[in-house]
């Protein structure tokens, strides 16, 4: 049996991250949720107020024999802007921060190495503000967030924000897509 591993990532709206990570070969499951806050069992409505301290995150379960943690981080740094503090585009607030929630010392080391690599490559004009912190408790988001983009590709936010991100991701990471991934959703 395959040995699965987990990554928890925050890069703005979790609908965007879920839509991308679900298309990667080697990813077994992507679950939207909340991490990094101080309120137990937060709801979406509570997190949206920006008062719980949580970030919208995805918990990515993957097969490391197919895709590595480093690969997941490489994708992460191309699908959101890691230089904007507590915001992604029009989504503003601590809940939309860029963060890597680590589950081990190795993940912490690799996350910090990935940030250094991105900074050295000069991919962004501004400094990287991505936080690296221990994962703590992960709270699954409400079920209606699951497969949100796939189920709502023509909803205005999905069409205007998520679809272009998915299209950009597919172009940059074509070699990492699972077979049949590209036709799904509105960005195909």
Catalytic amino acids?
13
Q: How far is CA 56 from CA 67, 95, 101, 188, in A?
A: 23, 6, 11, 25
Alpha carbon distance 149, 157 (integer Å): 9
Alpha carbon distance 27, 9 (integer Å): 14
Interacting residues of 49 by C-beta distance below 8 A, sequence separation 6+: none
């Amino acid at each position: 049996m395959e040995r699965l591993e987990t990554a928890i990532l925050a890069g703005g709206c979790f609908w965007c991250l879920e839509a991308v990570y679900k298309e990667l070969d080697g990813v077994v499951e992507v679950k939207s949720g909340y991490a990094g806050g101080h309120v137990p069992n937060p709801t979406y409505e509570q997190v949206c107020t920006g008062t719980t301290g949580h970030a919208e995150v995805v918990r990515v379960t993957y097969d490391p024999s197919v895709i590595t943690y480093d690969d997941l981080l490489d994708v992460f740094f191309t699908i959101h802007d890691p230089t904007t503090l507590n915001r992604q585009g029009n989504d503003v607030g601590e809940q939309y921060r860029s963060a890597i929630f680590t589950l081990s010392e190795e993940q912490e080391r690799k996350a910090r190495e990935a940030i250094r690599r991105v900074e050295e490559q000069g991919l962004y004009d501004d400094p990287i503000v991505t936080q690296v912190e221990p994962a703590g408790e992960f709270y699954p988001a409400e079920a209606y967030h699951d497969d949100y983009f796939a189920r709502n590709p023509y909803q205005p936010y999905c069409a205007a924000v998520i679809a272009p991100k998915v299209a950009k991701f597919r172009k940059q990471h074509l070699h990492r897509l699972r077979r049949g991934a590209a036709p799904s959703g509105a960005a195909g």
